[in-house]
Amino acid sequence: MTDRSAARQLPGAPARAPLLRPRSWYLALAGLAAMAVPTFIRVAEQSWSTETGAHGPIVAASGAWLLFHTWRAKPQEQVSPLAWWAIAFASLAIWLVYVVSRAFDFLVFEVFAVWCMSVCIVYRLVGLAELRRLAFPLFYLAFLIPLPGSLVRLITEPLKTLVSWSAAGLVQAAGYPVARQGVSIAVSQYQFLVEDACSGLNSLTGLVAISLFYIYVLHRSSPLYALGLLAVVVPIAVAVNIARVLALILMTYYYGDQVAQGFMHATTGLILYGGAIVIIFALDILFQRFRMSVAHA
């Protein structure tokens, strides 16, 4: 059977390397799986089991679904020889980064290498035009890459200060015996620190990822509206964590430190995280109704 893309090639045009044949797909995907499976077992053990990476399983499942439903099986173009060699050298460099990162337990670079190799393989499977169509699913899956510890500390410090200052100020205004020094809050005879998990970064990362998925599925044709809706995610994430610290202060005051720092510590985070998602969806419905009313006015 004649290759259609080869048949359309003009006389005298430079030769192009064909895309991977269907039999080669399985070999390429098997090689990627050999890299990805042990890496994501480590990610699940070191990141997904903590509040920092709790959004990982959701992103992995929804990203795989999005990639599956966006993928088109028929390739639309061939790959130029220059691009083929560039991808080959890039794949070799990525593999070396993967090996070194895995050997020295650099999880961030290891996951990043797996993601980069995925992009290279997708390009070799379906070409540049199809890769552009898959740009958002691949970008969305990049949320699986854990944030470097130095970056987390850089972002969380001002967020922890803002959250602790706001929550303590609200409780003090209501007349409760609360004192704050930095990110340390004293409640009656108890004292606790606003940790990284309460800073808002974890909620912000997860909410941005889920909101991006929601916006892309429902509003991919309205980029300005999507950006406007995404902009409200940041203040919602900060407000949710202020509410969480506020709830923990009140629980500490009325029920003691063991209750606030025990089961209820994680439970309040889950409840408020779910509430933040509901707020985003509700705002989307309100914004849609407002746009419809303005359009019909």
pLDDT the model gives residue 238: 83
Please identify which of the residues 102, 116, 124, 198 carries the catalytic annotation.
198
Q: Comparing C-alpha atoms, which of 159, 161, 239, 243 is closest to residue 251?
A: 243
d(CA 27, CA 33): 10
Residue 115 pLDDT greater than 90, yes or no: yes
The mean pLDDT of 166-191, rounded to a whole number, is 83
Indicate the pairing of strand 190-193 with strand 184-187.
Answer: antiparallel
Indicate the pairing of strand 190-193 with strand 178-181.
Answer: unpaired
Please identify which of the residues 120, 244, 289, 291 carries the catalytic annotation.
244
Termini Cα distance of the chain: 58
Tell me if residue 120 is catalytic. no
Tokens describing residue 213: 């998925």
Tell me if residue 244 is catalytic. yes
pLDDT the model gives residue 20: 59
246 Rama class: left (phi>0) / alpha (psi -120 to 50) / beta: alpha
* 238, 272 contact by CB (below 8 A): no
pLDDT the model gives residue 260: 66
Candidate from 59-68, 77-86, 172-181, 236-245 with smallest mean pLDDT: 77-86
d(CA 115, CA 108): 11
Candidate from 110-124, 130-144, 282-296 with smallest mean pLDDT: 282-296
pLDDT the model gives residue 138: 92
The mean pLDDT of 233-259, rounded to a whole number, is 82
5 or 211, which is more confident = 211
**Which residues have CB under 8 Å from 70's CB, separation 6+?**
133, 134, 136, 137
pLDDT the model gives residue 5: 42
Question: Model's pTM, two decimal places?
Answer: 0.75
